[in-house]
Chain A
Amino acid sequence: MNKIKEIKNELLNERYFEIDHFSGLKIFVYPKENYSSAYAIFGTKYGSIDNCFKSGENGEYITVPEGIAHFLEHKLFESEERGAFERYSETGASANAYTSFDKTCYLFSCTGNFSASLEILLDFVTSPYFTPETVRKEQGIIGQEIKMTNDEPSWASLFTLLGAMYKNHPVSIDIAGTTQSISKITADLLYDCYNAFYNLNNMALAVAGNVNVDEVLAVADKILKTAPDKKIERNFEEEPKEVVSRYAEKHLDVARPLFAIGYKEDVGNTRRTLKQSLESEIMLDIIAGKTSVLYEKMMNSALTNTTFNAEYFEGQGYGAHIFSGESENPDEVRKCIDEEILRLQKDGIDKTEFERIKKKHYGKFIMDFDDVDAVANCLINDYFNGDGLFDGLSVLESITAEDINRRLCEAIDVENSSMSVIKAE
């Protein structure tokens, strides 16, 4: 039996349905009136960081080559007969997939033939087919994808920084792996990973737009079979509190140096709560957002330019407040950011600024609900993080200036940061 729950939000005048499907899969259906398009995303809680795990009752931990989750994403599109892209070409849907640090998602958007496209999605993701020949061919294609991203300065900057911050945590490994690591991938290893993580109890389906519960369930009931809930245990080596090194650099042909400065947070093996993440975002706006004192100072003193940006980067067992941009003098940028953080930790934040920035986040939250892609993606993200789609609104409402002052002192230690610099030789 499928269990269906309706979840509403009065302010937004929106609702969606959360379904416990008999197969073990969690399904979300978010109908949008007057929309022509529909967007579906089918994801597993399995990403690049899950490279040491055991599954089932008596298994032992196995360590798999770096980049295998992403490799698996590519390979699932193929099957013994007709590949997924070929099948989608008969429905007109636009399909894609992505792998991140902690999940792998398969998606499509369409305006017509929704049920037929959903059937393809559910079918190909649950029907693996790998052979040594197809694995070999993909090594060439992914090898080119890796080389392409290695040439992207901002990508290189992030991973150089993560390497300087994390000693043991696999977040510092490139999502696609390296040309060497993917050469060790075999069809058997792909099946091991598939069987462990592509269990419907470890997955979710979210659909938004011109859709209804009945049509989604008609397809899900037809394609999905009940899956026993297999226990997955991930093994992460303990990560020291301290960064590995204060500074790291890499050489690429760039016009001017790119910097990324990360303040490592001591998080043990946990994830941050939704409230902590939102507090961090507000806090970063106050420290370095476009309305901050620091931003204006750095623009006017020619220390950096409009590429300057701050983001909160977090997941299971890692968390960092990261500032990045271009500068001829990254050391000076780092000094300015350190000083501003210390000042705010000592003096506290300005309440008027805080209220305005909170209002900004309220507005951004509302605008996200216009976009069916964003809605479906958020449903999956929030579910994997243990949150509900509308929770952000009430959590945001509850955040006070005191919360930000507390988080500012707890989450950032200016002595525990790394800086990566990408520059020409």
Chain B
Amino acid sequence: MSKIKYSETADGIRLLCVNTEKFKTNYINIDLFTPLGEDLPAQYVLTSLLSHISGNYPTVKSFNSKIESLYGASFDSSIGNYGDNMRMSFFLELPDDRFALYGEKPSEEAVDFLTDVLLNPLCSDGKFREEAAEREIRFALEDLEAKKNDKRAYALSRLKQLMCENEKYGVDSEWLENEVRSLTPERLFAAYKKLLSEAQIVVTACGSLNEAMLYEKFTAFANKIENRNPAELTSEFVTGADEIRYFSESMKMMNQSKLVIGLRSGMENESDDYFAYRIMTDVFGGGPYSRLFANVREKLGLCYYCGARLIKQKGIIFIQSGIENENYQKALDEITEQLNVMKNGEFTDEELEASKRALADAYCGVEDSPSGVCSFFASQCFAKSLVNGEEEAKALLKVTREDVIKCAQKTVIDSVYLLSGEDSNE
């Protein structure tokens, strides 16, 4: 297992570094976290803007040519929820310096490029350059509007919004689109300044990158940010549900209906019986050995996919399936029945062991790719101590049947959402 080094710069930038010769790739990831709030529309645009142009590389062509010249480096960004918080990520990967053809050090240049992109965007007089800002607002808007193209993801996002309407987590997509539409270069710039000042910043690196070099560069990076004052991150954990809420919407020209169910697991915080909940969700709806796969798909043949996923940062479980409209009640009844099987402890020892073996096996392999190493450790960036994949696997193997039943008994259905096709193409 690799050795991970943790350090923190004076201005609260967390640095997680795995120094290894195992890979031919160097990977570096910067995460910025803030509480979800009114800046989200601007943050949406910034995620794209900061990864497309910069003060030193003001055109799309010059910016991408720089990245390409680093031996085909990949550079990208993403934005999403982290519980009730926003997580914005910038990641860059490139071949290790030993493959450079002319003795240069592309990896150090890549770190400089990454910090420069965040510190020196294309702006002047307190605003982003107008045409660039407009273009990026258009990109963000088109990206938001196109969310409905992916029916499966769209149905999930609708359920999240409806189920968590009173939590920050349930971001209103209409509000988000409208706010993005009304953004100006000035407001974007103000949000950018606030982001650097208030975000919890976590840097994760894997490869032959030297920790001392990274520490020095990110200390200098932090020093250039004005008024560093990272905001505290919290997430509300709602437990229980008074009664099940049912929602249904329709979409034109759709062949298959999407059923999404949101459950409150009863977790009160991220580490509350986490391993037991992880196993419970997996026996219920994880791999092909799970209750949902074996019954909803294999026994009843109702769908191609039916699975459950635990959102650790919120203590929510989402079940997703694609079904025929007419099978809605049948599928819902069977899923409810399988949840009851979990609550009553009627799952077999073989199913429990299968889940433990599969999850533990997967955890033991998380350190076999540079991006895997970074995402695994980045997910623990706010934990009190860091554990490696094998330690995580050991903790999972300790979970007992009683632990799983206890978790299932606390789990309740909160909301059921159906997205159905208005007509069929077939």
Contacts and interface: CB of A to CB of B under 8 A. Distances in A.
Contact of B256 (A37, A144, A306): A144
A36 B364 contact: yes
A300 B72 contact: no
A109 interface: yes
B239 to A, nearest CB: 31
Interface in A85-101: 85-86, 88-95
Interface string A281-293: 0000000011111
A361 B99 CA distance: 13
Nearest to B289: A89
Contacts of B94: 363, 367
Contacts of B73: 363
B72 A363 contact: yes
Interface string B68-96: 11111100000000000000000001110
A251 B65 contact: no
Given A36-B367, A147-B256, A359 B69 contact: yes
B303 A326 contact: no
A151 B153 CA distance: 12
A36 B364 CA distance: 7
B255 interface: yes
B400 to A, nearest CB: 18
14 contacts: A36-B364, A89-B288, A89-B289, A95-B288, A150-B256, A209-B368, A253-B253, A291-B65, A306-B48, A360-B71, A363-B73, A366-B25, A370-B23, A370-B369
Given A12-B24, A152-B150, A255-B145, 4 more contacts: A291-B64, A360-B71, A367-B95, A425-B253
A211 interface: no
Nearest to B293: A85
B61 A361 contact: no
B354 A90 contact: yes
A34 interface: yes
Between A112, A147, A307, A366, the greatest number of chain B beta carbons within 10 A of the residue's beta carbon is seen for A147
A255 B24 CA distance: 41
A124 interface: no
The 3 A-B residue pairs with the shortest CB-CB distance, nearest first, are A363-B71, A363-B72, A92-B357
A110 interface: yes
Given A93-B361, A141-B304, A256-B145, A151 B254 contact: yes
Given A36-B365, A209-B368, A367-B93, A151 B256 contact: yes
B68 A360 contact: yes
A370 B255 CA distance: 40
A254 B146 contact: yes
B361 A94 contact: yes
Contact of A255 (B146, B364, B425): B146
Nearest to B106: A363
B304 A142 contact: yes
Nearest to A33: B22
A346 interface: no
A90 B152 CA distance: 31
Interface stretch (B131-139, B223-231, B402-410): B131-139
A305 B142 contact: yes
A254 B304 CA distance: 23
B24 A89 contact: no
B126 interface: no
A37 B364 contact: yes
A4 B358 CA distance: 33
A209 B65 CA distance: 34
A222 interface: no
A138 B301 CA distance: 7
Contacts of B101: 359, 362
A56 interface: no
B220 interface: no
B68 A137 contact: no
Given A89-B358, A290-B60, A359-B71, A144 B95 contact: no
Given A85-B289, A305-B138, A362-B72, A370 B146 contact: no
Contact of B252 (A109, A140, A253): A253
A212 interface: no
Contacts of A37: 364-365, 368
B342 interface: no
B4 to A, nearest CB: 15
Given A112-B361, A153-B149, A254-B149, A296 B60 contact: yes
Interface residues of B, number: 70
A357 interface: yes
Interface string B375-415: 00000000000000100000000000000000000000000
A360 B368 contact: no
B142 A255 contact: yes
B38 to A, nearest CB: 25
Contacts of A256: 142, 145-146
- The size bracket of the interface on A is 35 or more
A359 B61 contact: no
Contacts of A179: 426
B59 interface: yes
B277 to A, nearest CB: 20
Contacts of A92: 354, 357-358, 360-361
Nearest to B424: A147
Given A12-B24, A367-B95, A302 B368 contact: no
Contacts of B364: 36-37, 111-112
Contacts of B253: 251-253, 424-425
Interface in A314-367: 326, 356-357, 359-364, 366-367
Given A147-B322, A362-B72, A253 B251 contact: yes
Contacts of B145: 255-256
Contacts of A251: 253, 425
Interface string A13-55: 0000000000000000000011111000000000000000000
A35 B71 CA distance: 25
A356 B68 contact: yes
Contacts of A371: 369
A406 to B, nearest CB: 23
Contacts of B60: 290, 295-296, 299-300
A296 B59 contact: yes
A372 interface: yes
A370 B24 contact: yes
A148 interface: yes
A410 interface: no
A362 B71 contact: yes
B148 interface: yes
B287 interface: yes
Contacts of B324: 144
Interface in B80-128: 93-95, 99, 101
A371 B93 CA distance: 13
B365 A141 contact: no
B95 A363 contact: yes
B416 to A, nearest CB: 19
A360 B101 CA distance: 12
Nearest to B322: A148
B252 to A, nearest CB: 5
A129 interface: no
B357 A89 contact: yes
A364 B72 CA distance: 6
